[in-house]
A and B are shown apart, each in its own frame.
Chain A
Amino acid sequence: MDNQSVLNRLKDKFGDQIQNPLEPHDLLTVETSVESIIDVLQFVKSDDLLQFSYLTDITAVHYPNQEKSFAVVYHVHNLYQNIRLRIKVYIDGQNPVIPTATVVWHGANWMERETYDFFGIIFEGHPDLRRILNMDDLGVFPMRKEYPLEDPNRVDKKDFYFGR
């Protein structure tokens, strides 16, 4: 099975819901919508042909200049035939909500918590959507592009100390 047949199989099942197929560095990448993401994940996991039964990773990317400014990225892996598939969902920046994948894989739990922690994306239906790495009272979602890397409250790095 190659990327083209994976794509055909997905298109047969979901039609227009599968968009923008690309193959950067031979890894099939497709886009889908918030409404159909869980159906797509269920399908690729349980379909007899596709067998993408292993969830490699969930993460997100922030594109502040786009209207749909968050991309949630799922990497899934067919261990039987060693094919990887990347599924992207672009979601609204003002109201970043997406259904949870914990109904498909247990392992999605912490990956989604991490994504929530960094980007503030709400995974609807997640059993325990709390911050995981950062402190609970951080208040911001630090991986969003508008937040700086360094702690803005630092006092020892003022220009004054460097003669500026």
Chain B
Amino acid sequence: MSLPITEITSNKSVFVDNDPQDELITLNLGPTHPATHGVFQNVLQIDGERIVSGVSTIGYIHRAFEKIAEHRPFYQITPLTDRLNYCSSPINNMGWHMTVEKLLRIEIPKRVQYMRVIVMELARIADHIICNGILGVDTGAFSGFLYVMQEREFIYEIFEEICGARLTTNIGRIGGFERDFNEIAFSKIEEFITRFPAVLTEFEELFVRNRIFIERTSGVAAVTPEEALSYSWSGPILRATGVDYDVRVVSPYCSYEEFDFEVPVGTNGDVYDRFLVRNEEMWQSMRIIRQALEKISKEPSGVFHADVPEFYLPPKEQVYTNMEALIYHFKIVMGEWETPQSEVYHAVEGGNGELGFYLIHDGGRTPYRLHFRRPSFINYQMFAPMSSGMLISDAIINMSSLNVIAGELDA
């Protein structure tokens, strides 16, 4: 803010005698600020280092997902869901496919459900690694990030083995998977769950009882459960406040009810608790993956999709040789499938919370309306109100512990 200059009366400008310490400063944090890990703009009124008030501006990568979805058939919406929360795309993919399967009332074989569980839990670990690793970077501990990022690369290798892509995986089809997990994929998953515990333990040792880390995070941005619920929070940050709401448990999908795992909750709802909750969730995800591998081994091998030829694209080599396959292929691609007129809401536990798909279908080729309930969008709206009174440095680590993903925020 420039100093106010009164009208020049002589040839020397006259400054009004303002004590600069009385003035609030407007600080424009973002949209390209390095500490915000994404395109978020916050215009803050600050008094020294303390934030007095703030206004969040979002929409800097608004890509009109919901409008595109109205123009795409179901199977072409999967690439869009990839790019919502790109840190854990497979969860988004699976959530979308389950929504469609719920609409079409398709029964999914158990083996496919367990495969989905594995993929989703790997994605959850990858998501939490990013969040907690970056939280470490923001509190000044860079090396923890490098250790866990190595393992994240390994998760990418598994995804690559499963579907060929690393980040925007486009895993899955309506009814199951495009192909079976191969032997290498299974052995890599095994390898991951044997080697990751050591790395995660080391990561936790670096942080959990580290005095600097605790003093930086403990008590920062503490949120009560009542506040969190009135702002419709969900996911790890809600659980850190002590509310044990996890979609996997309250409305199980993909046979989550068969798995034995715990839902970690915090007590203070501060940044430290969120960190602990995410770490513990990674441990629980490992438990789930281990159980899922066991369950898969008991299922008949080779089953990787439901038997729904009218919605599941036949293998390409059959399309050229088999009449029936050609007909189904044509019908699916041209959108001449019989779908019910209905509306369905399906929610999955995404990396950041309840990821909901509200689909209204009029029986046409494309959804009539598809709305994404995006946890980042809903969680982030409390950021500006809760920042007032905080130090800037605390607001930054608060933001990284909210794990707001720009793609999911702006859709």
Query: How distant is the Cα of A59 from the Cα of B117 in the complex, in angstroms?
Result: 29
Q: Which residue of the partner chain B has the closest CB to A22?
A: B343
Q: Are A105 and B411 in contact (CB under 8 A)?
A: no
Stretch from B143-151, B165-173, B263-271, B370-378 at the A interface: B370-378
Contact check, A57 vs B356: say whether CB atoms are below 8 A apart: yes
Once the chains bind, are B232 and A56 in contact (CB under 8 Å)? yes
Interface residues in B333-390 (C-beta closer than 8 Å to A): 342-345, 347, 354, 356, 358, 360, 368-369, 371, 373, 377-378, 381-382, 385
In contact, B64 and A142 (Cβ under 8 angstroms): yes
Among A7-15, A89-97, A108-116, A154-162, which stretch is in contact with chain B?
A108-116
- A54/B229 in contact, CB under 8 A: yes
Report which of A59, A106, A110 forms a contact with B371, defined as CB distance below 8 A: A59
Within 8 A of B (CB), among A77-96: 79, 82, 84, 86
Q: Give Cα A73–Cα B378 distance, bound, in whole angstroms.
A: 16
Asked if B230 and A110 make an inter-chain contact with CB atoms under 8 angstroms apart, the answer reads: no
Contacts of A99 in B (CB 8 A): none
In whole angstroms, what is the CA distance A111 to B358 when docked?
Answer: 14
Closest A residue by C-beta to B342: A24
**Given the contacts A27-B345, A105-B232, A143-B67, A133 and B411 also touching, CB distance less than 8 Å:** yes
Task: Give the Cβ gap from A45 to chain B, nearest Cβ, in Å.
Answer: 10
Residue of B nearest to A73 (CB): B358
When A56-B373, A105-B232 are in contact, do A134 and B71 touch as well, CB less than 8 Å? Answer: no
Which residues of chain B are near A75, meaning CB under 8 Å? 345, 356, 358, 373
Our pick among B233, B251, B369, B373 for the contact of A57 (Cβ within 8 Å) is B373
Note all chain A residues with C-beta closer than 8 A to B411: 133
Q: Say yes or no: is B316 at the interface (Cβ < 8 Å to chain A).
A: no
A107 close to B381 (CB less than 8 A): yes
Q: Which residues of A contact B68 (CB under 8 A)?
A: 149
* B66 lies within 8 A of A105 (CB): no
The answer to whether A25 and B356 touch across the interface, beta carbons within 8 angstroms, is no
Instruction: Kindly state whether residue A53 has any CB partner on chain B within 8 Å.
Output: yes
Residues in chain B near residue A56, CB distance under 8 A: 232, 347, 354, 356, 373
Q: Are B229 and A132 in contact (CB under 8 A)?
A: no
B1 lies within 8 A of chain A by Cβ: no
CB atoms of A133 and B229 under 8 A apart: no
Residue A53 contacts which of B229, B233, B358, B371 (CB distance < 8 angstroms)? B229
The answer, yes or no, to whether B121 is at the interface (CB within 8 Å) is: no
Q: Tell me whether B231 and A25 are in contact (CB under 8 A).
A: no
Q: Say yes or no: is A118 at the interface (Cβ < 8 Å to chain B).
A: yes
Indicate if B16 sits at the interface (CB-CB under 8 A).
no
Closest chain A residue to B245, Cβ basis: A79
Q: How far is the CB of A85 from chain B (nearest CB, A)?
A: 11
Known: A79-B250, A111-B378. A132 touches B67 (CB 8 A): no
Select from chain A the residue with minimum beta-carbon distance to B231: A107
In contact, B251 and A82 (Cβ under 8 angstroms): yes
> What 0/1 pattern do residues 208 to 247 of B give for CB contact below 8 A with A?
0000000000000000000101111100000000010100
B70 closest partner in A (C-beta): A149
In the complex, what's the smallest C-beta–C-beta distance from B123 to chain A, in angstroms?
Answer: 22
Interface pair B58/A132, CB less than 8 Å apart: yes
Using Cβ atoms and an 8 Å threshold, which residues of chain B touch A55?
232
> Using a CB–CB distance below 8 Å, which chain B residues touch chain A?
58-59, 62, 64, 66-68, 70-71, 102-103, 227, 229-233, 243, 245, 250-251, 342-345, 347, 354, 356, 358, 360, 368-369, 371, 373, 377-378, 381-382, 385, 410-411
Closest 4 CB pairs of A and B: A107-B232, A133-B59, A133-B62, A110-B381
| Residues of chain A whose beta carbon lies under 8 Å from any beta carbon of chain B | 24-25, 27, 29, 53-57, 59, 61-62, 73, 75, 79, 82, 84, 86, 105-107, 109-111, 114, 118, 131-135, 142-143, 149
Given contact pairs A56-B373, A57-B378, a sample of 16 additional A-B residue pairs in the complex whose CB atoms are under 8 Å apart = A56-B354, A57-B356, A59-B358, A62-B369, A75-B356, A75-B358, A75-B373, A82-B251, A105-B230, A106-B230, A106-B231, A107-B232, A107-B378, A110-B377, A143-B67, A149-B68
